[in-house]
Structure 1
């Protein structure tokens, strides 16, 4: 009897619309090169523990002290004591109606972004997302049957959005506005007046504000952070944060979302979030025992972001390298853990960010993320994380500059046209 032909298992069609190059094709190629013995400097992921950072000792101790209590499931919204601590901290910073019943603890902010969009969207609904964005926002919108609609955060405007453009993009299907502040990948921080204008748009059009503030305390050179929820008041808002960045505990997978806004407006959304939280039973329990220590404990991030601190000095190394290079331009990051340089001049002629990222990895041993991964219309930027030591970052940018110099030389090289003595650009 003949063997029937093998038919591949069909997968969800909308996955073809999703990209996540931070851990995608380039990262897979990196693993292949490492398996062949090539040493790489990988700057694609904002993962503090991979660069020698440790979660603060008082957070580690909090988990260790309570490890004997972590075996059972906890409440679907999170450990009650942890939600109490989060609610109290947000109330102190001015978030209206900050109550434990409005706090949801998740396996990182990533899970909560997915749950909140699943709670909100019907097929065809639209979400206003920044461009560049953190690509999970686009992916989660698409996979929950929504449509991301991008508002520009233009490099010529220091990567700040234009509220006029945001409002022009609102349609009858728009359900939410996403804000990432401080921003990943650009490092921009949003001033109060800009945030107030965006809040007013949300109020006028009855939209949910979805605010990713995971980098809220990672600030440089006197930059200020303005939380959105206190400005929003009765306007529905869900604010996301967690332990992964400020507290350098990515692997613990502890994030939270705090819902604010008028009770009658957010009631059904809260019920939906509670149902979806219950369906996944609960978030990682051991990590939740560190939340109270994190929100009430000492500040362990500011020193790293101040002159002489490790993050500050690495950022300084990036800024100086870009200033010294004829091939790079940079809007200096005011916050977060990334820089988003642009390739300029002769090196930018015919430049493709993905092709360059692959070439850079294979010839210079450096892995970066191409700008097209962040849902932008241009292809001449790339993202690096600021987590390595400053000396390592200076070496990284020496290699980047070497690769870009080769491209610039090739772009300006003159070769004779065959059969004539007349030169032509290569």
Structure 2
């Protein structure tokens, strides 16, 4: 079985002692309160299997979070399920809600798990491309992608790898299509708190007629810089959450009891702490963006997420995949080619994703190394 592009680039980073700006993981320990809460939970003996649906404290904290930030009212007993990361939540939702011959519409570029899981269940992924430099959604392209076999719209905003954030108007266009064709929407919102330039994340489940047809997925990993903890969740109407739980229980059953208790503490942090996370990452986005532009790359404006997309064509490069495969050996930096997030590389042959979620000195060192190109 082929490895993911993230595993491939991370392996090259290790082999050549390169700075890894490919895979999206921070190099800081995360909020002290959250880490301390995990240690305290371990010492309290909270180390055994949790309920498959998740520990009550975390389910209650997730529901409180959704109410505090978005005004969504959820029942912690039936409308939230805790998973082994957002990846398991997304996979469980797709397996539960999609079958052979069905079609799943997703914004392109898309996280590779979307297509892999769709294929696993015998469904097809139908891409709707959003393109540089603005990465705006064309509602007519979305509408044209719907067929009688369409079952789900998989919506990622804030978006990986582009850093796009869907506007209210774009979300309303998606909602109109979903309601007209009676489609389920699965949302990937893991970067919901990592917003730049006063951008606002609007969950599509807050729009009229959408709460009853939306499974929303998020995760503690990105928000709290603890990607290795793999604590994510899915929320939505009870009947859909029950279906997700019905699949998830056969994947992992449950995971990370002390980590679940720690994430519950994290979700209760003051709103200013969440805003600070975005501001701190924005400064790193600016550092990396300015540095890549100084090197001669065309850099597209990222509004959110861990990532910045750059075009290497001005450097005389023609293939981002070959560029990224050779980069660790050439200069000691790893990155990911954007073409792997597309069904077809046409039009994105020279786009590269760089992670900005590193310490400033690491980003500066990476930019210094890239000057060797």
Q: In the alignment, what sits opposite 1:22?
A: 6
Q: 1:193 aligns with which of 162, 169, 179?
A: 169
Q: How big is each residue's C-alpha offset from its partner over 1:96-141, in whole Å with a ceiling of 9 and x where there is no partner?
A: 5554311010111111111111101111211111111111222222
1:319 alignment partner in structure 2: 289
Return 5+ residue gaps in structure 1 as ranges.
1-14, 34-38, 261-265, 404-426
Describe how 1:298-317 pairs up with structure 2 within 5 A.
298=270, 299-306=272-279, 309=280, 311-317=281-287
Distance 2:321 2:366 in 1: 18
Determine whether 1:332 maps to 2:301: yes
CA distance in structure 2 between the aligned counterparts of 1:234 and 1:389, rounded to whole angstroms: 38
Tell me what 2:79 maps to.
Answer: 102
The residue number in structure 1 matching 2:244 is 273
For the 8 Å contact 2:312–2:320, the answer to whether it is kept is: no
Larger radius of gyration: 1
Q: Distance in 2 between matches of 1:98 and 1:162?
A: 35
Tell me the residue number matched to 1:397.
Answer: 367
User: Once the 2 structures are TM-superposed, how far is the Cα of residue 171 of structure 1 from its aligned partner?
Assistant: 1.0
Tell me the distance in 1 between the aligned counterparts of 2:41 and 2:294: 51
Q: Find the aligned partners of 1:346 and 1:83 in 2 and give their Cα distance.
A: 49
Cα gap change, 1:319 to 1:79, in 2 (>3 Å): same
- The match for 1:41 is 19
How do 1:376-415 and structure 2 match up within 5 A? 377=345, 378-403=348-373
* Partner of residue 155, structure 1: 132
- 1:124-273 to 2 correspondence within 5 Å? 124-156=101-133, 158-231=134-207, 232-260=209-237, 267=239, 269-273=240-244
1:73 paired with 2:49, answer yes
RMSD: 2.1
Distance 2:95 2:163 in 1: 28
Q: Deviations over 1:301-324 (max 9, x none)?
A: 433433xx3x23321122222433
Per-residue CA distance 1:33-63 (angstroms, 9 max, x = gap)? 3xxxxx3111111112xx2x11212212322
In 1: Cα distance, 2:168 partner to 2:104 partner: 22
State the TM-score, normalized to the length of structure 1.
0.80
1-structure distance, mates of 2:290, 2:14: 31
Q: For structure 2, list consecutive stretches of 5 or more residues without a partner in the other structure.
A: none
Instruction: Tell me how far 1:248 sits from its aligned partner.
Output: 1.1
1:211-254 deviation line (CA, Å, top 9, x unaligned): 11111111112122212211154441111112101111112111
How far did 1:397 drift? Answer: 3.3
CA change 1:251–1:166 in 2 (3 A) is same
How far residue 165 of structure 1 moved from its aligned partner, in angstroms, is 0.4
| TM-score of the pair, normalised by structure 2 | 0.91
Which residue matches 1:293?
A: 265
Contact 2:81 2:235 in 1 (8 A): yes
Q: How far off is 1:394 after superposition?
A: 3.7
Length, aligned pairs only: 365
Structure ranking higher on relative contact order (CA contacts 8 Å, 6+ apart): 2
Query: Contact (CA 8 Å) 2:13, 2:333: kept in 1 or not?
Result: no
Distance 1:29 1:85 in 2: 39
Q: Do the aligned residues in 2 keep the contact of 1:46 with 1:337 (CA within 8 Å)?
A: yes
Change in 2 beyond 3 A, CA 1:393/1:292:
closer
